[in-house]
Amino acid sequence: MVEEQTTIAVQRYLDDLGGDRTTEPVVRDILARSARRLQILCGNLLYREYPRLARPPLNLQQDELLSALVERLMRALHAVHPGSVRQFFALANQHMRWELNELARRLDGQPRAQELLEGQAVAPSAASSAGATDVPTPDMLRILQAIADLPEDEREVFDLVRIQGLSHGEVATLLGVSNKTVQRRLQRGLLLLAEGLSDLRGQRHGATFEA
């Protein structure tokens, strides 16, 4: 019920953002209403997929990432007006990855390799969830491309469940479909990935695509 209320409230603010209301107050309302969800997503992405950024010497904390994300979104939402809750959290997820990738590049002194993946909303976290480093190897790039090539419905559910860490019920509410539909789309996506990446199975840097 709380999740559903959050979704409804955020959608109302997004509708206001696209209307005649002053942008700044609406942006603040959106971020305040979605703060808990954003905090959870920050924790999932940081501790599960970029854990080395939480260790010395950087010692990045969940709330620090949330603070950086809010600053990014306040700027982004003045220029981009998501039309749905789904689009809003996709935008947030993208900016979280950009922030983490920037920190990882600074930590490693690596080239800005992730810029090549700027259009792929699932790319960096998918690579990291495979247990790999934050700079993609050729095999990681294959995995990222395979995810990007999934049919739209399957790719969206894979992103929300496996990348953003939402439950099946949360995804069902967000997309306006049943839990079984979410499960079917996820299963189809996982099967397509397993087939397309069968030669990588068992390698340490390869992803595991079990349901």
Please provide the average confidence, as pLDDT, over all residues in the chain. 78
pLDDT above 50: residue 113: no
For every residue of 56-70, DSSP letters joined together read TTT---HHHHHHHHH
Query: How would you class 119 by CB atoms within 10 Å of its CB: exposed for 0-12, middle for 13-18, buried for 19 or more?
Result: exposed
Give the chain's end-to-end CA distance (angstroms, integer).
26
Write the CATH number for 158: 1.10.10.10
pLDDT above 60: residue 128: no
Q: Is 178 strand, coil or helix?
A: coil
pLDDT above 80: residue 206: no
Residues 103 and 172 in one domain: no
CA nearest 129: which of 182, 183, 76, 93? 93
- Which of 110, 143, 174 represents a domain boundary (last residue)? 110
Residues 101 and 144 in one domain: no
pLDDT of residue 211: 52
Query: 13 or 209, which is more confident?
Result: 13
Cα dist. 4→69, 171, 181, 182 in Å? 23, 11, 18, 17
C-beta separation of 38 from 92 below 8 A: yes
Query: 179 or 199, which is more confident?
Result: 179
Please write the tens of the pLDDT for every residue from 40-79: 989 988 898 888 899 888 889 999 999 999 998 998 888 8
- Which of 63, 91, 110 represents a domain boundary (last residue)? 110
pLDDT above 50: residue 129: no
Q: What is the mean pLDDT of residues 78-102?
A: 87
pLDDT above 70: residue 36: yes
